[in-house]
Amino acid sequence: MPYWKFIENLHYGHNLVSKNNKFIQSLVDYRSDTMDYKKIFQPKIWFIIGGVMAIIGGIENNINAETWAKSAWGDDGATTQALALEHVFGAFMVAFGAMALVCAFVLEETSQAKFAVANASVMITFFLGLFALLGYAEYQVPGIEWLIPPFVFLGGLLASGIIHMNTDEVEATE
């Protein structure tokens, strides 16, 4: 039932109780036509986005390792060990990005969704632990503007995995 019909029925005092189910269904249909979260949160898309961003970030971290080491440890603390840590972190990010792209193009459906949940959960835990431990080492963690994007992408990956974990089962029962 279109919304204007609902308003018209209210205006004329029609009994909506018997029509209520159709009205609610029209709301659900309208919402699913305009905002299909299952299309937005597809693990493949989030693996690709996260993978590309991780590769770009890892390469950038390796190119600017000295700058990152100085910003993290100060000019006096930017030793060869600090520089090596930045290179290792950059290499880790490139490897994570490559793994995400492999997941996007090799895994399918439920397997992809389950790995999205596992991968995002492990990475979120890793980053939270890493930043907590680096604080004890007097490492100057980058500002919030550098920390939010990875958590947004990992949150999208996690949500996409949760949404699609039982896709095969739902489609098989329909």
Q: What DSSP letter does each residue of the chain carry, written as one string?
A: --HHHHHHHHHHT---TTTHHHHHHHHHHHHHHH--HHHHS-HHHHHHHHHHHHHHHHHHHHHTHHHHHHHHHHHHH--HHHHHHHHHHHHHHHHHHHHHHHHHHH--HHHHHHHHHHHHHHHHHHHHHHHHHHHHTT--PPPHHHHHHHHHHHHHHHHHHHHHTTHHHHHHH-
The domain total for the chain is 2
Pair (141, 168) in one structural domain: yes
Q: Residues 150-155: what's their mean pLDDT?
A: 87
Residue-wise pLDDT for 81-130, tens only, equals 888 888 998 999 999 999 999 999 999 888 899 999 999 999 899 888 88
| Shared-domain flag, residues 62 and 31 | no
Same domain for 55 and 24?
Answer: no
pTM value is 0.68
Identify whether residues 112 and 31 lie together within a single domain: no
